[in-house]
Structure 1
Amino acid sequence: MRRDDRDDPFDDIFDEIERMMNQMTGGIDAGDAGFGGDAHVSVYEDDDEIRVVADLPGVDKDDLTIQCDGRRVTIAATTDHSDYKERIELPARVDEHSASATFNNGVLEVEFERTGSSADIDLS
Structure 2
Amino acid sequence: MRRDDRDDPFDDIFREIERMMEDMMADGQRLDRGDQSGFASSTHVDVHETEDAIRVIADLPGVEKDDISIQCDGTSVTVSAQSGHREYDERVDLPGRVDAHSGAATYNNGILEVAFDRTESSTNIDVQ
Structure 1 portions without partners, runs of 5+: 1-31
Deviation at 1:49, TM superposition (A): 0.3
Which of 53, 67, 74 aligns to 2:71? It is 67
Question: What aligned pairs does 1:3-22 form with structure 2 within 5 A after superposition?
Answer: none
Instruction: Report the CA distance between 1:60 and its aligned residue.
Output: 1.4
More strand by share: 1
Contact 1:41 / 1:52 at 8 angstroms: preserved in 2? yes
**Larger C-alpha radius of gyration, 1 or 2?**
2
C-alpha displacement of 1:33 = 4.3
Q: Residues 106-117 of structure 1: matches in 2 within 5 Å?
A: 106-117=110-121
SS at match of 1:97: helix
| Aligned: 1:94 with 2:94 | no
Q: Which 4+ stretches in 1 moved above 3 angstroms? A: none
Is the Cα contact below 8 Å between 1:38 and 1:57 reproduced in 2? no
Question: Using the alignment, how far apart are the partners of 2:38 and 2:97 within structure 1?
Answer: 23
Aligned pair 1:44/2:48, yes or no? yes
In the alignment, the residues of structure 2 paired with residue 97 and residue 44 of structure 1 have an alpha-carbon distance, to the nearest angstrom, of 19
Q: Determine which structure has the larger helix proportion and give its number.
A: 2
Alpha-carbon distance in structure 2 between the residues aligned to 1:33 and 1:109: 21
State the shift of 1:97 in Å.
0.5
What CA distance in whole angstroms lies between the structure 2 residues aligned with 1:112 and 1:47?
Answer: 11
TM-score (norm 1): 0.70
Deviation digits for residues 46-97 of structure 1, max 9, x if unmatched? 1100000111111111111011010110000122222210100000110011
Alignment: residue pair count:
93
- 1:35 is aligned to 39
Aligned CA-pair RMSD: 1.4
TM-superposed CA distance for 1:102, in Å, is 0.3
* Distance in 2 between residues matched to 1:117 and 1:36, nearest whole Å: 28
Gaps of 5+ in 2: 1-35
Check the 8 A contact 1:55/1:107 in 2, yes or no: yes
- 2:39 touches 2:45 (CA, 8 Å); kept in 1? no
Letter in 2 for 1:115: T
Determine if the alignment matches structure 1 residue 55 to structure 2 residue 92.
no
